[in-house]
Structure 1
């Protein structure tokens, strides 16, 4: 069994207000798909980090 990927906790969105959940949810779904379908390695880790950065930017844009 594969260990949980630690970065995935940062893609959780259920704790956010509803309008931010709508913005964050697609990033979470994509991250879960990537995590499940892609072999572990440095490129996967880098890709998920960059996706997380993009998600954070878009959530901040929705706030401001």
Structure 2
């Protein structure tokens, strides 16, 4: 393993505290983030990968919660 699970950005991928319907959306992103930290060396490109993954997770949650305008 290259990384360590102490990367501060991982706090934003936590999903255990979420209600089940949001946990199901967020879990794959959290698992991927942990995999990235565990397998890639810590460097600027890993940080970019994690930030973009976080952006994607946020968009997926918003897509799930999206309600059409009335």
TM range (shorter): over 0.9
Look up the match of 2:46: 44
Look up the match of 2:58: 56
Structure 1, unaligned stretches of length 5 or more? Answer: none
Q: TM-score, normalised by structure 2?
A: 0.85
Other structure's SS at 1:8 match: helix
Query: What RMSD in Å do the two structures reach over aligned CA positions?
Result: 1.2
The more displaced of 2-11 and 54-63 is 2-11
Aligned pairs for 1:28-43 within 5 A: 28-43=30-45
From the two aligned structures, give the one with the greater helix fraction: 1
Rg (Cα) greater in structure? 2
Give the drift of 1:14: 1.1
Other structure's SS at 2:30 match: helix
Structure 2, unaligned stretches of length 5 or more? Answer: none
1:26 to 9, 28, 31: 28
